[in-house]
């Protein structure tokens, strides 16, 4: 085995209550519990976060808008399950949760997503709902409370930087005069 990386998980965060989960990035972890804990540390320490979703990377199927155009074929009735549908709106956007559909495979899920959630999506992601890990309500306290009241501060917030600037300015001033 040449790849020593731990399994990759794709992470979605709920930034405000009632807003759909949006894609934040990925973490590596040995298992589901550590994936959620790592996701919290990497993506939910400063900005407000009200919930986390995580999927093992290989459970997410991705289709471009062009690929989604080729209509899925109605085949023999196959067992269906719920798929969660994400769409990237515009090239600068990030995959955002749009809703759930019943489908028998990822292509069907994308096709149904497309007919329900419109044409403006440039990239589709779908994953079976059973593969989703989500923070439980009782975990929200320890997972997200500590970040509240801790705004992200740029280094310029701290006066140390200002002092350094003053020193540099004084030195430049001196050099200019000599």
Q: How far is the CB of 13 from another protein (least distance, A)?
A: 15
Burial class (CB in 10 A: 0-12, 13-18, 19+), 122: middle
Binding test (CB under 8 A) with another protein, winner from 29, 85, 103, 123: 29
Does residue number 30 form part of the binding site for another protein (CB under 8 A)? yes
| Residue 155 φ then ψ, to 5° | -60, -25
Which is closer to another protein, CB of 41 or CB of 129?
Answer: 41
> Residues 147, 149, 152, 154: what is their CA dihedral angle, to the nearest 10 degrees?
-150
Q: Which range of residues in 98-106, 112-120, 126-134, 155-163 is near another protein by CB under 8 A?
A: 155-163
Binding test (CB under 8 A) with another protein, winner from 1, 142, 155, 175: 142
SS3 assignment for 147-168: HCCCCCCCHHHCHHHHHHHHHH
Does residue number 64 form part of the binding site for another protein (CB under 8 A)? no
Does residue number 134 form part of the binding site for another protein (CB under 8 A)? no
Does residue number 32 form part of the binding site for another protein (CB under 8 A)? no
β-strand pairing of 61-64 with 8-14: unpaired
Tokens matching residue 99: 């809703």
| Site of interaction with another protein (CB under 8 A) | 6, 27-31, 33-34, 37-38, 40-42, 45, 141-143, 145-146, 158-160
């Amino acid at each position: 085995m040449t790849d020593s990386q731990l399994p990759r998980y794709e992470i979605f965060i709920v930034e405000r209550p009632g807003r759909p989960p949006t894609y934040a990035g990925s973490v590596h972890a040995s298992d589901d519990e550590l994936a959620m804990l790592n996701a919290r540390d990497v993506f939910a320490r400063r900005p407000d976060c009200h919930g986390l979703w995580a999927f093992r990377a290989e459970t997410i199927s991705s289709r471009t808008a062009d690929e989604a155009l080729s209509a899925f074929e109605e085949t023999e009735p196959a067992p269906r399950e719920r798929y969660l549908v994400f769409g990237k709106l515009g090239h600068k956007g990030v995959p955002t949760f749009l809703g759930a559909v019943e489908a028998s495979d990822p292509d069907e899920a994308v096709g149904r997503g497309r007919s329900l959630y419109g044409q403006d999506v440039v990239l589709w992601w779908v994953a079976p709902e059973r593969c989703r890990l989500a923070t439980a309500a009782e975990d929200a306290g320890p997972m997200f409370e500590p970040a509240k009241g801790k705004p992200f501060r740029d280094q310029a917030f701290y006066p140390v930087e200002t002092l350094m600037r003053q020193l540099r300015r004084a030195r430049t001033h001196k050099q200019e005069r000599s």
